[in-house]
Structure 1
Amino acid sequence: MTATGCERSEEGIAHECSPMEAVRTTTIDVTTVTDSGAVVHVTPDAAGAAVVVHRIDGLEPESETVVELPDPTDPATVHQLVIRTLARPSGDRRCVFATVNDVHFGELGAGQIDDLEQGPIRRAAPGAEPYPEVMNRSAVAEMQAIDPDAVIVKGDLSLDGAEEEWAAFEKCYREPFGDLLHVVRGNHDSYRHQDAYAGDQRIDLPGITIALLDTAIPGATTGNITSEQIEWLDALAAEATNPVITMGHHQQWIAGTSADPTESRRSDDYFGLHPDASDRLDEVCARRTSILAYTAGHTHRHRVRTMTRSGAPSIEVGCTKDFPGTWAEYRVFDGGIMQVVHRMSSPEALAWSEPCRALYSDFGVDYGSYALGALTDRCFVIPLR
């Protein structure tokens, strides 16, 4: 959110101000919350000032704590944040795994739509390292720090499925994670009918089974889950002894969950999973209560909706390559799964991602709000069903 001196938001930010102070803007984002802590990113109002990262630890689960942070450009101004921690699922912690999506190796212009000149379009400075390399290297370093049992990449590894783009992806991700890495393609990886990274995958970890679905339609931007894939998922969920979480690249179509008519209308051209496939996914989730959720990428946003028949959550995780520049951690307990979205916080990642808030503004889009979503869209507990 943007604190203008005397406002309060759902993120829990409030502070006192005078009328003069109200013209200043310091952007304060509670980007991550867990059962024991939080991460806050503070962007000073001074042009070009670096983002300040605050890590708050040692909190109690399912509790509220007031935290005071000085303004980076005016220490006399103090921002008060009410941090609300998540409940910790019951039982033992069984494993932890990480995901990324929309990493886009080979991309040269963030915010560019087709050949349109509107933007703004951000590019790396001449001679500088390509920004997908910067952002993904930071994601890998942060994921390594949690020692994951698996790393799942949910599509759009590349800009156009070029061999050199996939090679850059493999160098960044395969070398550090090896057999822990599981990858499925997205639409950017199959524009020219490529078949690398194709096919559904079953990934068994302690306490959880992951059903990774190939939702790409070669040559198209839209997605699908065929009847054969649904049969595969149904059989997997029927025999699995652990809870199941499904993952794929394209987001689900769910009637009545958006005020945007292009999203609400049932259409063969829906930008995510075809409505028929979306309904089939909901139906199998209703039939197999071992399936806890479906989580996707593709939209470059953080959002959680509820499936119509099953009531299972349908989750979208933002992209790695620009604002806010994220990856997702899943902590698996006997009594549920905690999703924790992290914003990459290396200085070089923040220097790139922060100005990307303004992408697509020429189209009247508030990309910062769209991409970040609410805190409850990023960090939450997925219960057993």
Structure 2
Amino acid sequence: MRCCFSAPLAALSALPSPCEVVRSGALLAPTLLRAAAAALHGPARKSHHRHPDTLAAVHLELGTLTEDSAVITWYTGIPGTDDGLGHMLPAVTEGEVVYGTHPARLDRSAAEDRPTAHHQVELTGLEPGQTYYYQARSRGRAATPTPLHLIRGNAVGTNLYGLGSSGGPYSFTTPQPPPGRHLLSIALCNDLHVGETTSGLMAGVPLLRGVAQEPGLAPYPEIMSRALVEEARRRGADLLLAAGDISAGGAPRDLAEAKRILDGFGPHGQDYFVVRGNHDRPRRRGDDDAFRDGFLGGEGPAYFARDLGGLRIIGLDTYEKDGNGADAGGLGAEQLSWFRARLKEHRDQPTIVFGHHPLTVRDSLFPVSRGQRLGRRQARSILEAYAAAPGVFLHHAGHTHRNKRTVLPQAPHVTLQEVSAVKDYPGGFCLLRIHSGGYALNHYKTSSAAAREWGERSRRVAGGLWPHHALGRSVTDRNSMTAHDLSGISPVRLTAPCPASG
């Protein structure tokens, strides 16, 4: 059975360094001990002995921060209860965020329109470059942040204000908008894993149970993928790029269902594009290639270049090789040669590259193995090509199931953006807003009721350590603005596909 957890600890054939194992082992040991106890004694029983009016407000997160808006989420539960996975049962109640420009004067408020346990409040009409202080409340109880102490992270703000207190107020400073006029917006997503039934199965760590959907509910990859399509359209995306692991194992029925869901955004090859991940390849040599049949008409390479009014989109097949999916990603020799030639041919053209495996994996809570990234030699080759192609400004990757922004000295004009998985916590996509003088990257959680419920349930992957890995160490790992001359792009839609060799 192929592992559903394709990032940390899954690639047993590509071992991390001893230092990484020691460091991560020290962090993981308490979680492993708790998981062992749970495995021996069975799941905890649900308890309802507390008064239902008693609640706790937890898991506060600042998921999205733009120049004029912020999206804040949290959860309310009944203390003393247990859903069988070590999580409080939900407490359905109202939620509001009070905020202002001084910590002692939170004189503005935004509230939800209906009671829920999975709260999401959006602040709008904010001023660029302004520091705001805020507190999220449910029934008078202030929400406390998702703890990211293992990585010295901050889930709720852009500075440390309020983190030493219980319930805040916390603070953030809005960025400046991208310079120039808005041209188009692109939803960046990956790791839908349609067909998966258990999130967070870890090869080699049997005591860490995966998290399954509650009985009677729809499969969570389908819930999250449909919510992705709906949210991307609602947020104004003109185009959608899905960077691999569209399915959990390359099964024809799963890829067909994924295509039906993505077709809700628009026609494939026009409104959205996909590239293959290691999970999308046939399981055995000689099996039918369902990804090629479903998305490529059964022929042609799984990599391509498209032109969108002066913006070049390059999609890479980063597992163009034989293997079980656990080893390092790799481009075939013909694809790598084609890719380098395309960059050299139009080195100044504004270009986005997307593929499943990242070029590098920095600052991970878990041991970093070869299986989490592209092979080092090819990654160096690609970075060298980027250094000579000033038009490339963004490389979008998935596979690690986390939000992480990296800029390397070899190609400082290129943002390497890892985007968390669609399929589970935190769930969602990254919206790339392209302006003539720069671009913004903003992560949005999917906001449907079913998606919010599954997102909260699936945060318990990896024995509860998953937020430390997936959310992003800082707000800027999932929300950033970069100045870059993109004036050569026209605000038009792609109307016809171009050949891969173009």
Please tell me the TM-score bracket, short chain as reference: 0.7 to 0.9
Q: Does 1:59 align with 2:163?
A: no
Structure 2 residue aligned with 1:70: 137
Structure 2 residue aligned with 1:6: none
Q: Does 1:229 align with 2:229?
A: no
The residue identity in structure 2 corresponding to 1:188 is H
Q: Is the 8 A contact 1:191 1:219 kept in 2?
A: no
Structure 2 residue aligned with 1:297: 398
Q: What is the TM-score when the length of structure 1 is the normalising length?
A: 0.84
The residue identity in structure 2 corresponding to 1:251 is P
Q: Does 1:112 align with 2:201?
A: yes
Q: Is the 8 A contact 2:310 2:350 kept in 1?
A: yes
Structure 1 residue aligned with 2:468: 369
How has the CA–CA distance of structure 1 residues 344 and 247 changed in structure 2, closer, same or farther, with 3 Å as cutoff? same
The whole-number CA distance in structure 2 between the counterparts of 1:225 and 1:367 is: 30
Task: Tell me which moved more, 317-326 or 42-51.
Answer: 42-51
The whole-number CA distance in structure 2 between the counterparts of 1:259 and 1:113 is: 16
How has the CA–CA distance of structure 1 residues 35 and 155 changed in structure 2, closer, same or farther, with 3 Å as cutoff? same
Task: Tell me which moved more, 287-296 or 225-234.
Answer: 225-234
Q: Displacement of 1:115 after TM fit? A: 8.2
Q: Is the 8 A contact 1:191 1:218 kept in 2?
A: no
Query: How many pairs align?
Result: 354
Q: Does 1:253 align with 2:354?
A: no
Structure 1, gaps ≥5 residues long: 1-23
How has the CA–CA distance of structure 1 residues 199 and 366 changed in structure 2, closer, same or farther, with 3 Å as cutoff? same
What SS does structure 2 have at the residue aligned with 1:177?
coil
The whole-number CA distance in structure 1 between the counterparts of 2:353 and 2:74 is: 34
Q: Is the 8 A contact 1:300 1:318 kept in 2?
A: yes
For residue 384 of structure 1, the aligned residue among 484, 488, 496 is 484
What SS does structure 2 have at the residue aligned with 1:279?
helix
Q: Displacement of 1:292 after TM fit? A: 1.0
How has the CA–CA distance of structure 1 residues 92 and 348 changed in structure 2, closer, same or farther, with 3 Å as cutoff? same
CA deviation map 1:179-231 (0-9, x unaligned): 31211110000152536255212232246322111111343423113454344
Q: Displacement of 1:138 after TM fit? A: 0.9
What SS does structure 2 have at the residue aligned with 1:65?
strand
Q: Does 1:325 align with 2:414?
A: no
Q: Displacement of 1:116 after TM fit? A: 6.0
Q: Displacement of 1:45 after TM fit? A: 4.7
The whole-number CA distance in structure 1 between the counterparts of 2:433 and 2:216 is: 40
How has the CA–CA distance of structure 1 residues 87 and 122 changed in structure 2, closer, same or farther, with 3 Å as cutoff? same
How has the CA–CA distance of structure 1 residues 72 and 32 changed in structure 2, closer, same or farther, with 3 Å as cutoff? farther
How has the CA–CA distance of structure 1 residues 303 and 176 changed in structure 2, closer, same or farther, with 3 Å as cutoff? closer
Q: Displacement of 1:242 after TM fit? A: 3.9
Q: Is the 8 A contact 1:27 1:45 kept in 2?
A: no
Report % sequence identity. Answer: 27
The whole-number CA distance in structure 2 between the counterparts of 1:307 and 1:280 is: 14
CA deviation map 1:288-320 (0-9, x unaligned): 111112110000111122224112332210001
Structure 2 residue aligned with 1:21: none
The residue identity in structure 2 corresponding to 1:299 is T
The whole-number CA distance in structure 1 between the counterparts of 2:212 and 2:65 is: 31
For residue 181 of structure 1, the aligned residue among 249, 272, 277 is 272
What SS does structure 1 have at the residue aligned with 2:212?
coil
CA deviation map 1:239-264 (0-9, x unaligned): 2664112111001136xx4477953x
For residue 309 of structure 1, the aligned residue among 410, 428, 443 is 410
Q: What is the TM-score when the length of structure 2 is the normalising length?
A: 0.65
Task: Tell me which moved more, 226-235 or 165-174.
Answer: 226-235
Structure 2 residue aligned with 1:94: 183
For residue 276 of structure 1, the aligned residue among 358, 377, 387 is 377
Q: Is the 8 A contact 1:31 1:40 kept in 2?
A: yes
Q: Displacement of 1:127 after TM fit? A: 3.1
Q: Is the 8 A contact 2:57 2:74 kept in 1?
A: no
The whole-number CA distance in structure 1 between the counterparts of 2:329 and 2:276 is: 11
Structure 2, gaps ≥5 residues long: 1-55, 79-87, 92-116, 144-165, 296-300, 486-502
Structure 1 residue aligned with 2:323: 219
